[in-house]
Amino acid sequence: MKKTLLEIRVRYVETDQMGVAHHGSHFTWMEAARTELMREKGLPYRQLEERGFFLPVREAYCRYRNSVYYDDIVLIEVELLELKGASLKLGYRIRRKEDGKVAAEGYTVHPFVDTEGKIVRVPDFFKALFS
| Residues designated catalytic | 16
Dist. CA 112–CA 106, nearest whole Å: 20
3-state secondary structure (DSSP) of residue 27: helix
Q: Distance between terminal CA atoms of the chain?
A: 9
CB 10 within 8 A of CB 88: no
Angle CA 102–103–104, to nearest 5: 95
Angle CA 56–64–77, to nearest 5: 60
Which ranges of the chain would DSSP assign to H, the alpha helix? 25-40, 45-50, 124-129
